[in-house]
Amino acid sequence: MTFELFLLQLMTGIALGAVYALLAIGLSLIFGMLTVVNFAHGAFFMVGAFFGVYAMALTGSFWFSLVLVPIATGALGLVCERFLVRPLYGRGIDYPLLLTFGLSYVLIEAMRIIFGIEGLPSSTPAELKGSVNLGFGFFPLYRLFLIAATAVIVLALWLFIEKTRFGLIIRAGSRDPEIVKVLGIDISKVWLLVFGIGTAIAGLSGLLAAPTRAVNPEMGIPILAESFVVTVVGGMGSLPGAVIAGLLVGIVFAMTSLFAPEYSEMSIFVLMAVVLLIRPQGFFGKAGLMS
């Protein structure tokens, strides 16, 4: 064990945490505004990866896919919210949870039918191949791009929510939707857009993660569990919590893989258990949000 190896593994954990953070941001955004526990979020992640890899195979352009994928998965999310999720608002948190759980398997089967059970081959874009000397070792260029892209997306989402009129409506609607309705704002359109943004971010995170993992119909199942760990640790509905917890979970996973690989999968759930024992609502969550 050397200090250089430790730093390289730390960077690997940050890159992994960037994917977790992106996925958890979409999950937290939907829950914070709609109080919907979206069990189809991992499936949207998987669909985004398939859309992206297929688009890259057709066009040869990774940058075109970066634009296309969030639009396509966001549009799919809009349709699902309007015709499947919206009729269940006000019926209790269990109804949309069960519906999205079933929806995830519908999307998985659809990808199996369209692309086959083996999935699609994925590789690092040619312009992002290679490695960069960070002073303590060489680190893959694509993973640095992944960290930078996540930072840009998080900043853009923060500016949208905190500095725009529509962001103000979203924040107000998450606290008191009845007041927003009284002011003459169609809250259903706000919910529609929020769900679309959340699923677009999930699809984009799937595209960004595709070069680092196998693209197959089941790829969203394990990462859904991991993203829920991130969301619970950070606090349900908290966007800053999703970012901080995502990076923390990625680092914990990477460091455990370095010292005790056989416990790497378990380590993040141990982290969640410890956090819940100390602070049941997570780092930035509010007590009683689920009630």
Determine the length of the chain. 291
Instruction: Supply the pLDDT for residue 289.
Output: 54
Range of the domain at 130: 15-218
Select the more confidently predicted residue: 154 or 177: 154
User: Is residue 30 within 8 Å of 197, Cβ to Cβ?
Assistant: no
The 8-class DSSP code of residue 284 comes to S
Amino acid at 212: T
Q: Which residues of 70-93 are buried (b: 16+ CB within 10 A; e: fewer)?
A: bebbbebbbebbeebbeebbeeee
In-domain check, residue 59: yes
pLDDT digit string, tens, across residues 14-62 = 999 999 999 999 998 888 778 888 999 999 999 999 999 999 999 989 9
What is the pLDDT at residue 166?
83
In this structure, is residue 245 part of a structural domain? no
**What is the domain count for the chain?**
1
Give me the percent of the chain exceeding a pLDDT of 70: 97
Answer whether residue 189 is part of any domain. yes
What was the pLDDT predicted at 287?
62
Kindly state whether residue 148 falls inside one of the protein's structural domains.
yes
Q: Is the pLDDT confidence value at 181 over 70?
A: yes
What percent of the chain lies above the pLDDT cut of 90? Answer: 69
Burial of residue 262, with CB atoms counted within 10 A of its CB: 0-12 exposed, 13-18 middle, 19 or more buried: exposed
pLDDT value of position 229: 93
Tell me the average pLDDT of the chain: 90
Q: Is residue 56 part of a domain?
A: yes
Q: Is residue 259 part of a domain?
A: no
| In a domain? residue 266 | no
pLDDT at 174: 66
User: 102: which 2 tokens?
Assistant: 């079933």
Look at residue 167 in the predicted model and tell me its pLDDT: 83
Average pLDDT over residues 59-68: 93
* 250, HSE (Cβ side, Cα atoms, 13 Å): 24
**What pLDDT score was predicted for residue 195?**
94
Q: Is residue 290 part of a domain?
A: no
